[in-house]
Structure 1
Amino acid sequence: MNYKPLKDAQAFNASRWTESLDTWKKAQGDKEVAYRAFIKNLTESHYYGYMNLPENGENIDYDHSFFTISPQDGSSNFISVYTTMKELESSIAKPTEMATGRKIEAVEVNYAFLARELTLADTDQIDGIVINPFTDDYILTREEIVNISRRLCTGLNHTEDLGNFTPANIFIKEVWKVIQNCNDDDQRAELFSHVIDAIKDASLALPVVVKKADLVVEDGETYIDNPDTDLAIRMLSSEDRGDKASIVPLFTSQEDIETLDGWNAEDDERTTLFMTSDIDTHIAGLNNGEDFDALVINPFTDNIVLTKEILTGLGFIEGEE
């Protein structure tokens, strides 16, 4: 669980976050540039909040919750977090009494923690996250964390935060854990349908080998400079009953990528990159000439197998005439 009790928290400067928010709000010219700067600071900042935790410290990963705040009309409910101690101390979202066996603790968390909390929160109970509710009053919605993840993770080699910032990717792994421990076939089928829905919204990283001469780096971003470059997908193979199957590996996080042997391999002429996009884009590229038998999401961890037959049945690819 990626949080620290406040007594152990590292000091940080929240002024960049507030200043960039103000700049974006007041921008009269290039609002896009101002918004990019704000997103950078939003995702790099740490936040304070009050948490409801078990006194015995057991099962904290799942048995915890932030205290929330609502407008006077009670129309919505937000996880409340703060960028400074002064903001935290102004909070009215801290109860004075707790149930037996529970405790209140002030904690420090990062953006990835907040993205995961909002992704997995009950949508009927939590509407979003509010940052500094009594000053900035910035509401971070589910829609915005989806847009932020697409901005930061789509493209070449944008995988560092892929599994932490991308709601659908977080959801896939959490639900897959439940499926693996479920013995009820009907419940497994229902849960699998939720995984498929999440896969449609996920950002998936595909390993490809590219000639270094066809790459260009501008402002820290890597681009393929040659539209006719030869992209070689890092296929996996599987032998079943004597038949060799060509498998396309896709990954939902940097941690899963690093389970691929030689994931960052390169030589004098070629290097391995990860193209991050949605599943429809990947399949469209494969249909332009790649022969494959199945997609496998996180082959060395979750091992979610989607054969061509399954992909056709789900509507990801068209059935043959």
Structure 2
Amino acid sequence: MSWVFHRASSQWNMPRTPQLGGAQQASWSDAQTTSSGVQDSNQEKVITVSGEGMVHSPDFPHTYPRNTMLVWRLVSNSNMRIQLTFDERFGLEDPEDGICKYDFVEIEDPTEKTLLGRWCGSQLVQGSHVSKGSQITIRFISDEYFPSEPGFCIRYSLLPSVSEPKAPAVLPPSLQDIEELSEAVAELITVEEVMKYLEPERWQMDMEELYKPTWHVLGKSFIHTRKARADLNLLREEVQLYSCTPRNFSVSLREELKRTDAIFWPGCLLVKRCGGNCACCSHRCYDCQCTPARVTKKYHEVLLLKHRSGGRGLQKSMTDVALEHHEECACVCKDDSD
């Protein structure tokens, strides 16, 4: 069992991109290196960032084409970082179950190999995103269904690699962007501290409302332990698979669920995932890997924080999140002849 996040094909689509102004632009009709620093590549377009510019979906601000996969890798001088800001005009295919599966744009930091966010739908992308090093990657994917408009436009600029000391935050939580709020909440230890930070004047009332029974289904509990009589055959099987077992792993909910529009508290949860090696595999095995043999979806109740539409503060609620757990693992042997 695995999560499926998009249905986009890997076909490259290179329509003519309209000119948006005097700033540096990435055009997918370029066949070789241009004066704006765009280099042709079978896998991605490399843009040498020397000032301000933009990248955008084909035909922005009109409907983008279907079956499209575009990748831009922005590269600056080694002593400069790259800052990305979304245009307020934004519209891609809506998410399904809160997850951007089909048409989306995402930003990745190659320096730390981390996904900074994935966006779709029509919600305004707030704040800016800054690379840790001198590179940052933008990826746009659309599938064969339901193209939307106006697409997206991301403006980029340069920042010094050594930033000035940050001034103390002065914005209340309801006005902070999602990344700032996520970092602040992650430092808090108890749910009471979270509520005090979000609403210091009414945190006790929020606590009472948070734990009131609601219409939604409560989280399910699962039993892992079991008792069994000593059995030599069972002992032998356990020895064979001892190193390949479900183990506790911590996962980030925002990364696991691909939710860039919300904050969860706690931000990480423990899941069971297969781990360890397969030392007891047959000597005839060419390659032996520990893989999940039985996968289940389990529900965990956590605190969900979201910005209300129109800047009307924060929405706080208890919600169930479904995470993949590996209940059983097995050593899968690949024969030499394979």
Global fold match (TM > 0.5): no
Q: Which structure is higher in strand share?
A: 2
Report TM bin, short chain.
Answer: under 0.3
TM-score normalised according to structure 2 size: 0.22
TM-score normalised according to structure 1 size: 0.23
